[in-house]
Amino acid sequence: MRHKIPLQLLELEPHSYHLLTQVTINNSLSGLMIIDTGASRTVFDYQTLVKVVDNLQNMTDTVTSGINAMVTDCYSATIPNLVIDTFCNTNFETVLMDLQHIINLYQQFHPQPILGLIGSDFLIRHSAIIQYHKPCLILTTTNNKIDAAVANELEIP
């Protein structure tokens, strides 16, 4: 099944565009996620989500780079219910870390809170297609065992 999810195109500075989408977590917490195709993992802000996740565990031996290179505390967690428009993901395995520097930056440009970044792990798992001409994200859900095998081969949770 395909889900066509509307995206917001935000220009932080001239010719610097960022894609955002509305999410709801556990039917109670709503905010925006940044679509970050350069991020290997989907991450959420620790302070914002620590009270609404399950199975919180410190990731002491995690190698990080990019946006989170200076992060010392990183946690794995399970989000019981992650909803992006018509797309629902239950028991979503993810990472929590301090994203306050990102949240503070985006607060200057958008009134809704940033909850985190949707990374390539999520985008690959759901065969994501980004359309820029009419900003939307197309995600595919399936119960196909082949897709699960590919995800396992790529070590995508």
CATH number for position 109: 2.40.70.10
pLDDT of residue 145: 45
Whole-model pTM? 0.82
Question: Token digits for 133?
Answer: 């001409």
pLDDT at 121 over 70: yes
Distance CA 113, CA 13 (A): 19
pLDDT at 125 over 80: yes
- Residue 22 structural domain: 2-153
Residues above pLDDT 70, as percent of the chain: 82
CB-based burial of residue 154 (10 Å sphere; 0-12 exposed, 13-18 middle, 19+ buried)?
exposed
Residue 67 DSSP one-character state: G
Unique residue bearing structure tokens 């905010």: 31
Unique residue bearing structure tokens 């620790």: 46
How many domains does one find in the chain? 1
pLDDT single digits (tens) 61-73: 555 545 545 556 8
Distance CA 141, CA 93 (A): 16
Mean pLDDT score of the chain:
86
Question: How would you classify residue 15: left for phi > 0, otherwise alpha for psi between -120 and 50, otherwise beta?
Answer: left
